[in-house]
């Protein structure tokens, strides 16, 4: 078998997926795993396409001044979970700023981009929700750029309550599990992709299989954010860290700004009601739109007694009415053309967009710009330290 070609390259940028960017002599872009910008590296090429190459840094000839030794030993063992462990925490934030700015310029084609504000959060023991692959009953992660499972001794970013379940739990015949823990409540929930039979975990842990959920069993845990208790069911979305959820609430509230007492608002992709239940006052008229039945059921409990109307619907199929402000927190793919058209139909003066992907933020910003909305601010809330994932809160307003 032919050996993979190796190139000596100088990196000069960072791509959305966290890889460093270089160019080979013929001009093709090379995405380099395990490298930072401004490094001279030896790169083993693993993929060759007409427009780009992809490879892995096998030797760092001239390291970046921002390079550090990974904080987690599992990186050396091949764990693919944290691609930014080689960069200092401060430089990680700078790289994410570059990723978001580049996306807004290159994909969004925006001419004026506000300075991106960053909100750092603790980098270890933060994840209250983790997804694990199971091998021989033991929870672990997948190897870097592979589907192969690897066992881990400890996860640097998992909350201690979740880490214990990774280290000591036994999960029978499941092939994947999702672990959720309440940082403030101490409650723990494990959802197995098949039957929960054979699982062995501490007595306080609720374990449920996907088959049981489909048969009608309900299972949930609780978390406390903004001094409120939130029910989060096994089939509902919630942020992956408690302090991150609080930071998002703070930033969304600031982006919404002061509202008149009788203001009307839409909370799109509203989930279990986090923003509807924290950002608005008792006299505001709020409509929460959410497709997921589990999340709507949780929102009904979490928002009891509040002036919030729940609408179970896809945002693309929702009938918009006039509003003063719209909050939208879509999935990774973003809003898209149809959802943006419905937002614009509300004539809202302010739109606050929560995005978990730089490219989708850029696409949505471009679509909103075509509807007359100007990008006022972008705040990068660092929900995922040690990784290249970005989370942003952006404010758009109608230009008069």
Active site residues: 356
Residue keyed to tokens 């989930």: 271
| Neighbour-count burial of 305, counting CB atoms closer than 10 A to its CB (0-12 exposed, 13-18 middle, 19+ buried) | exposed
Check residue 67 and report its DSSP letter.
B
SS3 category, 266: strand
SS3 category, 224: strand
SS3 category, 315: helix
How far is the C-alpha of 373 from the C-alpha of 383, rounded, in Å? 26
Check residue 73 and report its DSSP letter.
G
Check residue 140 and report its DSSP letter.
E
Residue 385 phi/psi, 5-degree rounding, is: -55, 150
How far is the C-alpha of 216 from the C-alpha of 233, rounded, in Å? 12
Provide the token pair at 91.
Answer: 């430089």
SS3 category, 15: coil
Contacts 24+ apart (CB under 8 A), 1-7: 4/44, 4/45, 4/46, 4/55, 5/44, 5/45, 6/42, 6/43, 6/44, 6/45, 6/58, 7/42, 7/43, 7/45, 7/55
Residue keyed to tokens 């996907």: 210
Residue keyed to tokens 């006052």: 281
Q: How many CA atoms lie within 13 A of 75 on its CB side?
A: 18
Provide the 10 A C-beta neighbour count for residue 216. Answer: 6
Length, in residues, of the chain: 400
Torsion of CA 356, 359, 365, 371, to 10 degrees: -120
Helices of type H across 257-315: 293-302
Check residue 284 and report its DSSP letter.
S
């Amino acid at each position: 078998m032919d050996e993979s070609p190796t190139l000596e390259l100088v990196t000069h940028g960072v791509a959305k997926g966290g890889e460093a960017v270089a160019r080979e002599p013929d001009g093709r872009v090379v995405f380099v795993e395990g490298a930072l910008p401004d490094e001279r590296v030896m790169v083993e090429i693993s993929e060759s396409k007409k427009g780009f190459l992809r490879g892995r840094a096998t030797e760092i000839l001239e390291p970046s001044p921002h390079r550090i030794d990974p904080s987690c030993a599992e990186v050396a063992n091949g764990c693919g979970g944290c691609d930014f462990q080689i960069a200092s925490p401060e430089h990680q934030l700078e790289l994410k700023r570059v990723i978001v700015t580049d996306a807004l310029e290159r994909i969004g084609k925006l001419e004026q981009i506000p300075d991106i504000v960053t909100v750092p959060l603790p980098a270890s023991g933060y994840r209250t929700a983790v997804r694990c692959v199971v091998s021989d009953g033991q929870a672990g992660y997948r190897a870097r750029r592979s589907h192969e499972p690897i066992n881990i001794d400890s996860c640097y970013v998992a909350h201690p309550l979740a880490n214990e379940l990774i280290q000591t739990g036994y999960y029978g015949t499941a092939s994947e599990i999702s672990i959720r823990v309440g940082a403030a409540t101490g409650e723990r929930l494990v959802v197995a992709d098949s039957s929960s039979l054979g699982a062995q975990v501490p007595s306080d842990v609720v374990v449920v299989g996907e088959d049981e959920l489909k048969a009608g069993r309900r299972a949930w845990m609780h978390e406390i954010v903004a001094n409120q208790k939130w029910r989060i069911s096994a089939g509902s979305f919630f942020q992956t860290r408690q302090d991150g959820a609080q930071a998002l609430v703070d930033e969304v509230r600031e982006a919404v700004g002061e509202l008149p007492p009788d203001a009307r608002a839409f909370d799109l992709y509203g989930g279990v009601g986090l923003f509807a239940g924290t950002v608005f006052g008792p006299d505001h008229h709020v409509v929460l739109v959410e497709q997921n039945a589990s999340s709507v059921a949780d929102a009904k409990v979490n928002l009891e007694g509040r002036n919030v109307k729940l609408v179970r619907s896809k945002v693309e199929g929702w009938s918009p009415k006039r509003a003063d402000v719209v909050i939208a927190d879509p999935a990774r793919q973003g809003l898209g053309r149809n959802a943006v058209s419905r937002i614009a139909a509300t004539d809202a003066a302010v739109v606050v967009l929560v995005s978990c992907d730089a490219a989708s933020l850029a696409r949505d910003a471009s679509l909103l710009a075509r509807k007359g909305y100007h990008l006022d601010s972008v705040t990068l809330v660092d929900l995922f330290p040690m990784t290249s994932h970005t989370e942003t809160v952006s404010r758009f307003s109608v230009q008069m």
